[in-house]
Amino acid sequence: MRQTGFPLIRAGIFLALFLIITTHHGIASASESPLTVREVAKDLACPCQCPLILQDCNMSCGLKWKDEVGQKIAEGMNKQEITKYFIAKYGESARLTPLQKIQGKIYQYTRGFGTMEWVILGSGVVIWIVLMFLIVYFFTKIFLRRERAI
């Protein structure tokens, strides 16, 4: 009598163990990497009126804030604590929000779009194409009805 399911079960167990080990290794290595000023600064808005996020701003106000972020990292604070500190100290204008992006803060000015921005852009293009198709379709349908009626 031959067991055909056993190799399949063994392969499934091997795959599950492989995924657990590689995922655990990825989590461990991510948590071991030290926090950088760049990681924190990408989620903060520049304090001045320039259209940049803190990570991209090299003006005196942005450099001052980056130094302060570096001091907080040296004190042992994590990213969430530093962000909360800046919001508590400087107000909601320190937080990079979608409204600030609309009002002119350019997110990741030197690195291009993130995933969400590409999704929004793609959705806008698809919606525009569908609307143009529907407009042309209905106008031609109405125009052809008038031609037949004459």
The answer to whether residue 99 is domain-embedded is: yes
Residue pair 64/58 in contact by the 8 Å Cβ criterion? no
Query: What is the number of residues in the chain?
Result: 150
Chain segment 35-74, per-residue pLDDT in tens: 888 888 888 887 777 767 788 788 888 889 899 999 999 9
Q: Which residue do the tokens 């399911």 mark? A: 5
Note whether 85 and 118 are same-domain residues.
no
DSSP symbol at 33 = S
The first and second tokens of residue 24, run together, are 């655990």
Task: Supply the pTM of this predicted model.
Answer: 0.47
Sorting pLDDT into bands at 50, 70 and 90, what band is 125? Answer: very high
The first and second tokens of residue 35, run together, are 């926090």
Note whether 98 and 131 are same-domain residues.
no
The first and second tokens of residue 46, run together, are 């520049």
Stronger pLDDT, 77 or 116, i.e. the higher one: 77
Print the domain residue range for 40: 35-112
Residue type, 118: W
pLDDT for residue 28: 46
Note whether 40 and 105 are same-domain residues.
yes
Residue pair 103/50 in contact by the 8 Å Cβ criterion? no
Note whether 103 and 133 are same-domain residues.
no
Percent of the chain with pLDDT strictly greater than 90:
24
Stronger pLDDT, 100 or 28, i.e. the higher one: 100
Sorting pLDDT into bands at 50, 70 and 90, what band is 1? Answer: very low
Spatial separation of the C-alpha atoms in residues 97 and 61, rounded to whole Å: 19
pLDDT for residue 29: 46
* pLDDT score of 133 more than 50: yes
The answer to whether residue 47 is domain-embedded is: yes
* Number of separate domains in the chain: 2
Residue type, 47: P
Angle, helices 79-90/60-74, rounded to nearest 10 degrees? 130
